[in-house]
Amino acid sequence: MGLWPRAAKPKLEGGRTYRHAGHVAWRRVDGEVVVLDLNTSAYFALDDAGALIWERLGAGDSLEDVQVAVCKEYAVEPEAAHRDLEALVRDMLKAKMIESR
């Protein structure tokens, strides 16, 4: 089911940009990104696709631009990339790893 109940899912706007939260530290290790929440000591591991998304969001790319990059890099259909991107961004927002600009 995911972290958000179906009725509570926030609408993510394609042109919206995000930034890494100030209380996280991260590093790329062997194709993955490891993110550490300095407030809670919780850590998150992102696979190669998640790492691409993390880095592009941190660089200020819009969700639309990140979706295009995912489609090009991994040869996935736009609908699948959009669905997976929205799910990951929702999870990152819920975990307070990223914040809206």
> Does residue 71 belong to any structural domain of this protein?
yes
How buried is residue 46: exposed, middle or buried, by Cβ count under 10 Å (0-12/13-18/19+)?
buried
pLDDT at 14 over 60: yes
- Put simply, whether the predicted model's pTM sits higher than 0.75 gets the answer yes
In a domain? residue 10: no
In a domain, 29, yes or no: yes
Is 23 within the bounds of a domain?
yes
Residue 79 belongs to a domain: yes
> Taking the C-alpha atoms of 32, 6, 98 and 16 in order, what is their torsion angle to the nearest 10 degrees?
110
Question: Tokens standing for 24?
Answer: 């996280």
Q: What is the pLDDT of residue 67?
A: 95
Asked if residue 10 has pLDDT above 60, the reply is no
Residue 51 has pLDDT above 80, yes or no: yes
Q: Is 87 among the domain residues?
A: yes
Structural domain including 93 reads 18-100
Residue 8 domain flag: no
Q: Which two tokens stand for residue 94?
A: 């819920």
Give Rg (Cα) of the chain. 13
- 11 is a domain residue: no
Distance from the Cα of residue 94 to its chain's centroid: 11
Domains held by the chain: number? 1
CATH at 36: 3.90.930
DSSP secondary structure code for residue 13 in this structure = P
Cβ atoms of residues 98 and 20 within 8 Å: yes
